[in-house]
Amino acid sequence: MYKAKIDKTIESLKLAVEMSKEFYRKPLIITYSGGKDSDVLLDIARKCLKPDEFEVLNSHTSVDAPETVYHIREVFDEVRGGGTKCTVHIPKDKDGKQITMWNLIPKKKMPPTRMVRYCCTVLKETSIPNRIYAVGVRANESSGRENRDIFVTRGTTKKDPYRYYSLEHSQEVFEESKERDPIWDCTLIKQMRENKDIIVNPIYEWTDSDIWEYIRKNNVKYNPLYDRGYKRVGCIGCPLANYKEMMKEFAEYPKIKDAYIRAFQRMIDQYDDDRKRKRKDWKTGQDVFDWWTERWKNEVKGQMSLEDFIGEDGE
């Protein structure tokens, strides 16, 4: 089973490369976060693809742990040495100023939440051009990632945000696209012809044990935070972390915790009188931080609705 998953990952990557060549005339993009899933995906890509058939992209969020930043630098130095392009994307506003979590919070006028993750939208998703890109998403990471598949297109409505396609279906319609009239294209091929962004999940079916088995057997260098008990190594203060993880992160990275509190303070300093009346319990950045972390705990327990969590100021 483990070998079959590796073979399917390789097959998915090679198909994505051919699709990218055919429709985009550009290499496949491998997104890289500095986490274990990214390390496995990148290692397989380096072994089964030519150096110029893909490039690697990291989105600088401004909220990664220092260890993660150093790990990304080390990996990128090594990958660049093998002839593959690596890019660290730094999001900027229309005036060319860097966007960070610390200036995004005051702009959005609310903390990022599990249900309203504007931080992901601005700091990560804007880094992807209209290309085919592979990500390290796996089904068993969360219930919200179940019932997906290897190839993904974006839908057109909130009720239909994504559409999913199996590897077998994707292979079939790609071969058909070379001979049949575009009028018969399925949505996947149609969006490729229009150069829209296509997501590929090459390790979608892998489990945690599969990931660690691959790392051990192939001596893959991984983020040192895992050896310190971290189960995830994303942004410090990510709304998707559970409460215990969040408390551990803020205890070990007090400077980042302080940066959140300062950003919350700037957020409420610019509130108008009406908004201040609605949030009269928010006098300081520390008040907002306490509110944020307490509701985080309650939300994970399923005790709050979206309206309760965001409040009247949700935007």
How would you classify the pairing of strands 28-31 and 54-59? parallel
Q: Looking at this protein, which amino acid is placed at residue 106?
A: P
The secondary structure of 43-63 as a DSSP string is HHHHHHS-GGGEEEEEE--S-
Q: What mean pLDDT, rounded, does the chain reach?
A: 88
Residue found by looking up tokens 């950003």 in the block: 263
CATH for 2-225 is: 3.40.50.620
This prediction has a pTM of 0.88
Closest CA relative to residue 24, chosen from 59, 55, 57, 47: 55
For CATH 3.40.50.620, list the domain ranges present in the chain.
2-225
**Helix and strand totals (H; E) in the chain:** 13, 7
> Which of 54-63, 97-106, 237-246, 291-300 comes out lowest in average pLDDT?
291-300
Residue 11: pLDDT over 80: yes
99-137 per-position pLDDT tens digit: 999 999 999 999 998 788 888 888 887 777 789 999 999
53-101 per-position pLDDT tens digit: 999 999 999 999 999 999 999 999 999 999 999 999 999 988 989 999 9
Detail the DSSP E strand segments found in 80-128: 86-89
The residues, any chain, with a CB within 8 Å of residue 87's CB and separated by 6 or more, are 55, 56, 57, 58
